[in-house]
Structure 1
Amino acid sequence: MSTKRLSSLAAILRHAVLLLTGALILLPFVWMISLSIKPPGEIFRASFSFWPSQFYGVENYTKALTEAPLPRYMINGLIVCSLILVLQILVCAPCAYALAKLRFPGRDLLFVMVLVGLLLPHQVLALPLFVFGYQLGILNTYTALIFPYVVSPFGIFLFRQFFKTIHDDVVHAARLDGLSELAIVWRILVPMALPAVIAFSIFSVVGHWNDLFWPLIAVRDQSLMPPPLGIMVFKNEEAGNDFGPLMAASTLIVLPLVIAFLTAQKWFVEGMTGGAVKQ
Structure 2
Amino acid sequence: MNNQSISLARIIRLSVLSVGALAFLAPYIFMISTAGKAQSDIFTSSLSLIPQQWFYLQNFAKALSRVSMGRLLFNGIVVCGLILAIQVTIAIPCAYAMAKLKFRGAQAMIVLVMLGLLVPIHATALPLYVAFDRMSALNSFFALVAPFSISVFGIFLFLQFFRAMPDDLIHAARLDGMSEIGIIGRVIVPNAWPAITAFAIFSVVAHWNDLYWPLIVVSNQAYATPPLGLLYFRAAEAGDDYGALMAATLIITLPLVLAFLFAQKRFVEGITMTGLKG
TM-score (norm 2): 0.96
Specify the alignment match of 2:203 in structure 1. 204
1:30 matched to 2:29? yes
Specify the alignment match of 1:191 in structure 2. 190
Conserved 8 A contact 1:193-1:276: no
Specify the alignment match of 1:42 in structure 2. 41
Specify the alignment match of 1:231 in structure 2. 230
Conserved 8 A contact 2:140-2:218: yes
User: Which sections of structure 2, spanning at least 5 residues, go unmatched?
Assistant: none
Count of paired positions: 276
Specify the alignment match of 1:138 in structure 2. 137
1:249 CA displacement: 0.2
Aligned counterparts of 1:90 and 1:137: Cα–Cα separation in 2? 27
1:164 CA displacement: 0.9
Aligned counterparts of 1:144 and 1:254: Cα–Cα separation in 2? 23
Letter of the 2:133 counterpart: Y
Conserved 8 A contact 1:65-1:249: yes
1:47-80 Cα shifts (integer Å, max 9, x gaps): 1211111110101000100111121111100000
Task: Find the residue that maps to 1:211 and give its secondary structure.
Answer: coil
Conserved 8 A contact 1:92-1:151: yes
1:115-139 Cα shifts (integer Å, max 9, x gaps): 1111222211211221222233211
- Structure 1 runs of 4+ with >4 Å offset: none
Task: Find the residue that maps to 2:51 and give its secondary structure.
Answer: coil
1:85-128 Cα shifts (integer Å, max 9, x gaps): 10011000000100100111111111111111112222112112
Specify the alignment match of 1:56 in structure 2. 55
Letter of the 1:139 counterpart: L
Aligned counterparts of 2:43 and 2:124: Cα–Cα separation in 1? 40
Aligned counterparts of 2:46 and 2:76: Cα–Cα separation in 1? 37
Aligned counterparts of 1:44 and 1:20: Cα–Cα separation in 2? 27
Aligned counterparts of 2:100 and 2:61: Cα–Cα separation in 1? 54
Conserved 8 A contact 1:36-1:244: yes
Query: CA separation of 1:144/1:275 partners in 2, compared to 1, >3 Å: closer, same or farther?
Result: closer
Conserved 8 A contact 1:100-1:160: yes
Letter of the 1:141 counterpart: S
Conserved 8 A contact 2:160-2:275: no
Aligned counterparts of 1:207 and 1:236: Cα–Cα separation in 2? 23
1:86 matched to 2:88? no
1:8 CA displacement: 3.1
Aligned counterparts of 2:170 and 2:249: Cα–Cα separation in 1? 46
TM-score (norm 1): 0.96
Q: CA RMSD in A?
A: 1.4
Conserved 8 A contact 1:77-1:226: yes
Per mean C-alpha deviation after superposition, the further-off stretch among 57-66 and 266-275 is 266-275
1:276 CA displacement: 11
Conserved 8 A contact 2:35-2:247: yes
Conserved 8 A contact 1:199-1:269: yes
Letter of the 2:141 counterpart: Y
Aligned counterparts of 1:275 and 1:107: Cα–Cα separation in 2? 20
Specify the alignment match of 2:112 in structure 1. 113
1:104 matched to 2:103? yes
- Equivalent runs, 1:245-256 vs 2, <5 Å: 245-256=244-255
Aligned counterparts of 1:266 and 1:146: Cα–Cα separation in 2? 28
Aligned counterparts of 1:268 and 1:57: Cα–Cα separation in 2? 33
Conserved 8 A contact 2:157-2:274: no
Aligned counterparts of 2:81 and 2:274: Cα–Cα separation in 1? 25
Specify the alignment match of 1:13 in structure 2. 12
